[in-house]
A and B are shown apart, each in its own frame.
Chain A
């Protein structure tokens, strides 16, 4: 076997090329030299592409602002463990204004460490609200400091504010599953629109899509649903395996569900949608929450057909194809939509 160039040698040469290309377009001789070098070994293109990607990623130091001081940043972050859950977020230029500036965060970075220490000896610390959100088609698990967690479904946003006497979460929009760690002295409150859901140790989802009434699905334990702005409406306790719908200015409606039905309603956590005898029209509306590809019907009657099954939430075309097959329909793909026709 002939002596092979080591991958480290290739990486070094690739970095040279990436730096040269970054300084400006290569002249024809330079380009020819690069092409010649790349042709010599299949690994070279990879190393070169990687070096370019590293450079592209590294250029994002711009986003840290002109006053970014690497040493101060490292110092501020050295004290805390390098664990994903406690990463001190960095504000980027152009962020929405409810996010603190980088400078403030550096200070908070220090005080968050202090807060942890103080918390251990039993003192509270006024925590800032923390916002978590997902884009279309995203699912995100947010572990919280008390052992509770929030799983955010597509296009959702929560604001979390923990105090010594209360754990408060505002569901700004969308849908989220709350797995609440038991703490009798600190109730866990979820606000969605005009509805407040109170839990102690339980697991439940709250869904608020704006156009529909707030919906609560209890998986374990008991929650209490209240309407703080309507004193006439008494808080209502809702047990496990019950779906409660809270329409504005009307009584809360409870529907008992089989445990399997509750699991089905939570299929989104695995990126799936589960339907049982669901009209196609409603299924199409569900898919629209996860993808920009719309499912449309050539004839409105098709929307009344029902469907049962488990489908990948981000694949409306695949859903349309398989439903078309089982119902003897056609699925016609357009650029932004898929149309179901007879």
Chain B
């Protein structure tokens, strides 16, 4: 089962023509994959990744595969599938590399990807997810937070948000983009992961990213 899945992934060509992510897939990723990202990141931190591959790369490649799959209907346990996609991503990377650090292979071998069966902890309660979201929103800096809440709850256009908050449409867009990145970090790294996130409001995107690069190493 596992081997055939790996084979299917390895056999997938690199052309990713399916760039239009459906609303359905977007929701599936939001409900069934994103809640497990923080735990997978912890797992990745325990594996010794090759020097030219970072946890963020693995996460992005894994989402990429999950986004370009034709159907996700047969996946019983999205969490376990997510893990096995991450593992395959690393294996494929190693296969392409000329030098394979032995330690990495050992680590990967010692990591049993569980069968594609939902586990009790997989049913992360919906309420808990909502609770984490509420806490994450509370940590967003203004004016991004107001702009985001207007967009999400009233579905107001960027231009109208700008009028209400005294910003240009372009500034609203930038502010929302930054908000989504911060929410991605808060939700994808365990909601409460980094207490310093609330102090990052005034930092530029560059230093914010650097901050995260540092977090990655500390993990």
Contacts and interface: CB of A to CB of B under 8 A. Distances in A.
Interface of A: 1, 6-12, 15-16, 18-20, 22-24, 34-35, 38-39, 42-64, 66, 68, 70-71, 73-74, 77, 82, 84, 87-90, 92, 134, 137-141, 271, 312, 314
A206 B54 CA distance: 49
Contacts of B157: 23-24
A312 B60 contact: no
Interface of B: 14, 16, 19, 21, 23, 25-27, 29-31, 33-34, 52, 54, 56-57, 59-68, 76, 117-120, 123, 125-131, 133-140, 145, 148-149, 151-153, 157-158, 173, 176-178, 180-181, 183-184, 187-188, 191-192, 205, 209, 212-213
A134 B178 CA distance: 37
A7 B57 contact: yes
Contacts of B59: 7, 46, 50
Nearest to A63: B130
A40 to B, nearest CB: 11
Contact of B184 (A9, A11, A63, A77): A11
B129 A57 contact: yes
A16 B130 CA distance: 24
B137 A18 contact: no
A56 B192 CA distance: 19
A15 B184 contact: yes
A73 B135 contact: yes
Most buried by B among A9, A53, A312: A53
A268 B21 CA distance: 37
19 contacts: A7-B56, A23-B158, A42-B14, A45-B16, A50-B60, A53-B29, A55-B26, A56-B26, A58-B152, A61-B153, A62-B153, A70-B140, A74-B135, A89-B131, A90-B127, A90-B131, A92-B127, A92-B130, A138-B123
A58 B67 contact: no
A43 B133 contact: no
B129 A54 contact: no
Most buried by B among A47, A54, A62: A54
Nearest to B31: A57
B134 A58 contact: no
Interface of B is mostly: helix
A57 B117 contact: no
B77 to A, nearest CB: 10
A84 B128 contact: yes
Given A50-B188, A54-B184, A92-B130, A140 B56 contact: no
Nearest to B148: A58
Contacts of B134: 61, 64, 68, 70, 73-74, 90
B123 A140 contact: yes
B209 A74 contact: no
Given A19-B180, A56-B29, A74 B139 contact: yes
Contact of A45 (B67, B133, B135): B67
A64 B182 CA distance: 20
Given A15-B181, A271-B117, A87 B128 contact: yes
B159 to A, nearest CB: 9
In order of increasing CB-CB distance, the 10 nearest A-B pairs are A46-B64, A49-B67, A46-B63, A7-B56, A74-B138, A8-B209, A53-B29, A70-B138, A46-B60, A43-B60
A22 B184 contact: no
Given A35-B19, A47-B63, A48-B21, A61 B158 contact: no
B59 to A, nearest CB: 7
Given A42-B14, A50-B188, 9 more contacts: A7-B59, A23-B158, A43-B64, A45-B19, A56-B29, A57-B129, A58-B183, A139-B120, A140-B123
Contacts of A137: 118
Contacts of A62: 152-153
Given A48-B21, A66-B153, A139-B120, A54 B188 contact: yes
A73 B29 contact: no
Nearest to A138: B123
A259 to B, nearest CB: 24
Nearest to A50: B63
Given A42-B14, A46-B59, A54 B131 contact: no
Contacts of B140: 70
A42 B209 contact: no
B60 A18 contact: no
B85 to A, nearest CB: 10
B178 A57 contact: no
Contacts of B137: 58, 61, 70
